[in-house]
């Protein structure tokens, strides 16, 4: 296992696997470049870095996440989100909010749904902040933030605020499905 110092000194580099790369890019409609690393292999490669990340100061964590999220290949966005997920239990809502701008970068269903898991994990641990977190997404001008609002709200099924999902769906459908051709 890498020590914190090893994780700070070295950067996680995913190997390029051409035989998988093309299929993975095609799966996401050629919207993003890939290294070609399958999820199980990516998780194995990032495991030590995720473990080491829990010792990073939050400011450093934000820098590492942002740096990786802005790399070209999609695996780095997944890795960045995994870093936030691994550290979600030690974040305040203000610290979690530092990652909000990343949702709007390189957005697609795969990363949006992964981000929803991060926010859902946080809300599960901080139920009193559910309305605050939901407000970040509900009615947002960006389609992908609204998708998080819907999936986040539906995640709680019985505890779902029935007044919100319908409104979120209206925003989601009227402004996005009409003329939205990225799918």
Q: Where are the beta strands (DSSP E) in 11-156?
A: none
> Residue 161 has what pLDDT?
55
- Dist. CA 64–CA 70, nearest whole Å: 10
36: left (phi over 0), alpha (psi -120 to 50) or beta: left
> Residue 151 has what pLDDT?
85
pLDDT band at 162 (very low <50, low <70, confident <90, very high): low
> Residue 138 has what pLDDT?
87
Note every long-range contact of 3-6, with CB atoms under 8 Å and residues 24 or more positions apart, other chains counting. 3/52, 4/52, 4/55, 4/56, 6/48, 6/52
Q: What is the mean pLDDT of residues 156-177?
A: 50
Task: Report how far apart, in Å, the C-alpha atoms of 172 and of each of 131, 133, 161 are.
Answer: 19, 18, 17
pLDDT of residue 109 exceeding 50: yes
- Dist. CA 116–CA 155, nearest whole Å: 9
- Percentage of residues in the chain with pLDDT exceeding 70? 79
- Dist. CA 30–CA 23, nearest whole Å: 9
pLDDT band at 154 (very low <50, low <70, confident <90, very high): confident
> Residue 108 has what pLDDT?
96
> Residue 168 has what pLDDT?
47
Residues 125-144: tens digit of each pLDDT? 999 999 899 999 988 999 99
- Dist. CA 172–CA 22, nearest whole Å: 31
Q: What is the mean pLDDT of residues 2-23?
A: 76
pLDDT of residue 32 exceeding 60: yes
Residues 110-120: tens digit of each pLDDT? 999 999 999 99
């Amino acid at each position: 296992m890498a020590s914190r110092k090893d994780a700070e000194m070295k950067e996680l580099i995913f190997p390029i696997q051409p035989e998988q790369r093309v299929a993975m890019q095609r799966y996401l409609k050629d919207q993003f470049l890939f290294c070609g690393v399958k999820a199980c292999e990516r998780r194995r490669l990032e495991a030590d870095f995720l473990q080491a990340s829990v010792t990073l100061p939050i400011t450093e964590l934000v820098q590492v996440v942002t740096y990786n999220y802005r790399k070209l290949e999609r695996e780095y966005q997944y890795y960045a989100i995994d870093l936030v997920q691994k550290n979600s239990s030690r974040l305040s809502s203000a610290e979690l909010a530092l990652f909000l701008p990343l949702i709007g970068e390189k957005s697609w269903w795969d990363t949006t749904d992964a981000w929803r898991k991060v926010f859902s994990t946080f809300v599960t641990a901080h139920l009193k902040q559910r309305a605050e977190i939901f407000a970040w997404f509900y009615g947002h001008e960006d389609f992908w933030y609204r998708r998080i609002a819907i999936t986040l709200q539906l995640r709680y099924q019985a505890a779902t605020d029935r007044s919100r999902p319908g409104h979120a769906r209206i925003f989601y459908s009227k402004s996005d499905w009409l003329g939205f051709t990225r799918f």
